[in-house]
Amino acid sequence: MQQTQTSSDGSSSFIKSIFAILAMVTALVVAFLIYFYVFGKDSNFITDDKGHREPIAEGMGHWYATIYKGGIIVPVILSMLIMVITFSIERVLTIARATGTGNMDSFLKRVKILLDDNKLDAAIAECDKQKGSVGNVIQAGLEKYKQVLADDEMDKDEKLAAIQKELEEATTLELPMLEKNLSIIATIASIATLMGLLGTVLGMIRAFSALASAGAPDASALSTGISEALINTAFGIGTSALAIILYNTFTTSIDKLTYRIDEAGFTISQNFASHYSKKQGKISA
């Protein structure tokens, strides 16, 4: 049983790792396709007498062309934005599954009432209905609760320790699933702004180099070059801000689930400690 569960967890982890890699590669490919075939579309530009492509005067095409002229760092930052959105959707679905099918507070209240009434089987049945990470951890604890009650060779402290150990192991199995891929969002939150600044620096270098080669100061050309370079900063800061907001939202949701799991484990342990009668070797009425 334990080997089967370990094998299943390993397969699930491998599949999720493959998903993360494929998602990042796909995001990068999609970002470059958008950069070249949407932002860099010929209709977004006009060609001057010297053969230089410049953004059209107005409309969305003007903004697309301006973004395109921000340089090769633009699709890199755009791929980060796509990654943030992709992994955020994946986290929303995962946390929703972990929460379970019903209201969490109502579920915990029903389990507590059933435990107070010594109805272990009914409490386990409630966990089957609820599902999710909290339901799985509570069910594991309750099944161990039921198992140790039938063991006459263990004393009260040993039985309580066995229940607490089972709860800890079940929690250890559930938490990595909740936190998976959050490190990617956190990393993007840290480096997106830096990538934007890098793109801006490269754009500024290009702008001043072009100005120097022209031989005469051209305020219009310089301001255009600077505005194109700053596109990278805007993209980078926006992506970083979104990643930070989503990361904090997910970690808060996970902390709430973790608190619920700890609360449920404490309830089970306290119920066992208060109802178990060493003398009778069973739950007292």
pLDDT of residue 84: 96
Of 116, 150, 114, the closest CA to residue 129 belongs to 114
To the question of pTM greater than 0.85 for the whole model, the response is: no
Half-sphere exposure of 154 (CA within 13 A, CB side): 17
* Residue 285 binned pLDDT confidence (cut-offs 50, 70, 90): very low
- The amino acid sitting at 261 is I
SS3 state of residue 260:
helix
- Domain boundaries defined on the chain: 71-283
In angstroms, the CA 136 to CA 122 distance is 15
Q: Give 122-151 pLDDT, tens digit per residue.
A: 989 998 888 888 888 899 999 988 888 877
Of 269, 264, 262, the closest CA to residue 156 belongs to 269
Query: Could you tell me if 60 and 219 are in contact, meaning their C-beta atoms sit under 8 angstroms apart?
Result: no
Q: Give 154-178 pLDDT, tens digit per residue.
A: 888 888 888 889 998 888 888 888 8
pLDDT of residue 6: 42
Tokens found for residue 187: 């990393």
Q: Give 59-116 pLDDT, tens digit per residue.
A: 888 888 888 888 889 999 999 999 999 999 999 998 988 888 888 888 888 888 888 8
Query: Could you tell me if 100 and 131 are in contact, meaning their C-beta atoms sit under 8 angstroms apart?
Result: yes
pLDDT of residue 146: 86
Q: Which burial class, exposed, middle or buried, applies to 73 when counting CB atoms under 10 A from its CB (0-12, 13-18, 19+)?
A: buried
In angstroms, the CA 171 to CA 242 distance is 30
* Residue 3 binned pLDDT confidence (cut-offs 50, 70, 90): very low
